[in-house]
């Protein structure tokens, strides 16, 4: 695996608050690297630093082992950016939008025309190329946003939550397109707080929270770290903290918490303790409404690392 971009000890402060803390990681050539973290984790800040949109306090960036300087134009030409907020001209056609963004990267004439056609076809908007953007659905705008970021054929495509607020069909289309870009040799840095997307497209994952990297690896590696545990969630009619605290006395129970009449229990998988957990709750006259048991997934990985769920 060859390193395309290396980030070393990156730090960023906003109004005395450290939002990126000593972040170090590498992006390998031709991989989809997902930056996964809850809202406010520091994903956009990190990405905005990489694209040159934000300054940083300290740290170093290397592209193909070459140290990047502030406003490095050579590097900027080799990356593509799909921002979280749509960056489109609503009154202009899809084609004019993509042409405008691709021309910023120095494409001209026939090459520019061909790349625009290819990008629009790639995101499934070839037949709507002449339509004005304001007539597009949210999902179509998101797809166009991607076409604008990748038409010039960047080595590294940086995408900041590109599927926020869109319908499942457009999401599927986008995720499939991203995998195809990777298969064609593009490297993708993808931020999201949707673990389902990470499950679907990531080659590697970095879990980030409060500006810090908590874990990294393939989804299989991350899940293996918590494979011996499972999460039992019990919906009750009226939760009682005292009963939940008592669950700690049962063999295998590692964590128990109560929130909105839902008891969440992290327990060892190889200890058969469900009947005793239920028995304990019943002994406090707690009525059970529903039980679900989940083996390791990225949500449980996150829960294990932070004690919170990604959706909190
Ligand atoms: N311009 C700014 N001024 C002050 N604080 C900021 C600024 N931009 C971001 N922050 C703060 O930095 C922290 C990280 O924000 P960031 O947008 O990077 O998180 P994120 O992981 O991308 O989340 P989201 O998905 O909500 O964008 C948050 O606490 C946020 O409030």
pLDDT > 60? residue 134:
yes
Name every residue whose Cβ is closer than 8 Å to that of residue 42 and which is 6 or more positions away in sequence. Answer: 12, 19, 20, 23, 208, 210, 211
- The pLDDT tens digits of the residues spanning 24-34 come to 999 999 999 99
Which whole number is the average pLDDT over 80-104? 93
Ligand 1 nearest-atom number relative to CA 41: 21
Q: What pLDDT, on the 0 to 100 scale, is given for residue 311?
A: 63
- The pLDDT tens digits of the residues spanning 3-50 come to 999 999 999 999 989 999 999 999 999 999 999 988 889 999 999 999
Which whole number is the average pLDDT over 123-136? 94
Query: Does ligand 1 lie within 6 Å of residue 80's CB atom?
Result: no
Let me know: does 298 contact 36? Beta carbons within 8 Å. Answer: yes
Task: Give the mean pLDDT of the chain.
Answer: 90
Q: How confident is the model at residue 306 (pLDDT cuts 50, 70, 90)?
A: confident
- The pLDDT tens digits of the residues spanning 180-203 come to 999 999 999 999 888 889 989 999
Let me know: does 125 contact 118? Beta carbons within 8 Å. Answer: no
Give the strands of the sheet with 288-294, arranged side by side: 253-259, 262-268, 229-236, 288-294
Ligand 1 nearest-atom number relative to CA 84: 27
Ligand 1 nearest-atom number relative to CA 191: 22
From the number of C-beta atoms within 10 Å of its C-beta (0-12, 13-18, 19+), residue 173 rates as: buried
Mutate which of 10, 11, 14 for ligand 1 pocket (most atoms within 8 A of beta carbon):
14
- The pLDDT tens digits of the residues spanning 215-228 come to 999 988 888 877 78
CA–centroid distance, residue 117 to ligand 1 (Å): 35
pLDDT > 90? residue 1:
no
CA–centroid distance, residue 39 to ligand 1 (Å): 8
Mutate which of 34, 41, 84, 194 for ligand 1 pocket (most atoms within 8 A of beta carbon):
41
In this prediction the pTM is: 0.81
Instruction: Point out the least confidently predicted range of 206-210, 225-229, 269-273.
Output: 225-229
Nearest to 302 by CA among 249, 229, 247, 244: 229
Q: Long-range contacts made by residues 14-19, C-beta under 8 angstroms, separation at least 24?
A: 14/45, 18/211, 19/45, 19/211
The CA–CA distances, whole Å, from 308 to 16, 251, 264, 300, 301 equal 25, 23, 11, 9, 10
Residue ranges of alpha helices (H) inside the chain are 43-50, 73-78, 94-103, 109-122, 138-150, 168-183, 195-201, 219-224, 241-246, 274-283, 298-306
CA–centroid distance, residue 285 to ligand 1 (Å): 44
- The pLDDT tens digits of the residues spanning 45-65 come to 999 999 988 999 999 999 999
Let me know: does 87 contact 94? Beta carbons within 8 Å. Answer: no
Q: What pLDDT, on the 0 to 100 scale, is given for residue 49?
A: 94
């Amino acid at each position: 695996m060859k390193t395309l971009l290396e980030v070393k000890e990156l730090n960023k402060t906003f109004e005395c608050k450290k939002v990126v803390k000593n972040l170090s990681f590498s992006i390998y050539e031709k991989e989809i690297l997902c930056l996964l973290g809850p809202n406010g984790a520091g994903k956009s800040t990190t990405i905005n630093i990489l694209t040159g949109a934000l300054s940083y306090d300290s740290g170093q960036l290397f592209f193909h082992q070459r140290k990047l300087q502030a406003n490095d134009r050579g590097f900027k030409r080799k990356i593509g950016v799909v921002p979280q907020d749509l960056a489109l001209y609503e009154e202009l056609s899809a084609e004019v939008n993509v042409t405008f963004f691709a021309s910023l990267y120095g494409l001209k004439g026939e090459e520019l025309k061909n790349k625009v056609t290819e990008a629009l076809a790639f995101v499934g908007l070839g037949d709507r190329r002449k339509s004005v953007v304001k007539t597009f659905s949210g999902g179509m705008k998101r797809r166009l946003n991607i076409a604008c970021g990748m038409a010039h054929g960047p080595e590294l495509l940086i995408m900041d939550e590109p599927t926020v607020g869109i319908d499942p069909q457009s999401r599927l289309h986008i995720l499939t397109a991203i995998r195809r870009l990777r298969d064609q040799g593009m490297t993708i840095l993808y931020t999201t707080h949707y673990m389902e997307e990470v499950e679907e497209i990531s080659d590697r994952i970095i879990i980030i929270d409060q500006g810090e990297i908590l874990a990294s690896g393939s989804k299989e590696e991350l899940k293996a770290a918590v494979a011996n545990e499972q999460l039992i969630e019990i919906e009750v009619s009226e939760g009682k903290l005292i009963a939940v605290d008592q669950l700690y006395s049962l063999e295998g129970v590692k964590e128990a918490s109560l929130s909105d009449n839902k008891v969440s229990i992290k327990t060892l998988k190889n200890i058969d303790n469900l009947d005793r957990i239920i028995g304990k709750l019943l002994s406090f006259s707690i009525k059970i409404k529903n039980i679900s048991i989940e083996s390791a997934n990225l949500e449980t990985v996150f829960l294990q690392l932070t004690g919170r769920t990604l959706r909190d």
